[in-house]
């Protein structure tokens, strides 16, 4: 399935903010899931690593 836009991109375009929270072992997977597999951050996006 191809996506035209990622969740983070749509949130950013609508002036909203988002936060991705994940514990140490799953942090990267949480971030990649929310960004549609991309590494770049969009405006208004923040990630938090929980120990």
**Structure tokens that stand for 6 in this block:** 């990622």
Q: How many CB atoms lie within 10 A of CB 21?
A: 12
pLDDT at 14: 93
- Boundaries of domain holding 41: 7-50
Q: How many CB atoms lie within 10 A of CB 19?
A: 10
Q: How many CB atoms lie within 10 A of CB 7?
A: 14
pLDDT at 1: 60
Q: Is the pTM of this model over 0.85?
A: no
How many structural domains are present in the chain?
Answer: 1
Cα separation values, 6 from 10, 20, 24, 44, 51, Å:
6, 14, 23, 14, 27
pLDDT at 5: 80
Question: Quick check: 36 and 8 in contact, CB under 8 A?
Answer: yes
- Identify whether 24 is part of a domain: yes
Query: Could you list the mean pLDDT of each consecutive 10-residue stretch along the chain, which spans 51 residues?
Result: 76 85 75 70 71 71
């Amino acid at each position: 399935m191809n996506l035209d836009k990622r969740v983070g991109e749509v949130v950013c375009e609508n002036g909203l903010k988002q936060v991705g929270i994940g514990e140490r072992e799953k942090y990267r997977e949480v971030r990649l899931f929310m960004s549609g597999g991309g590494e770049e951050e969009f405006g208004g996006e923040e990630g938090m690593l929980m120990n």
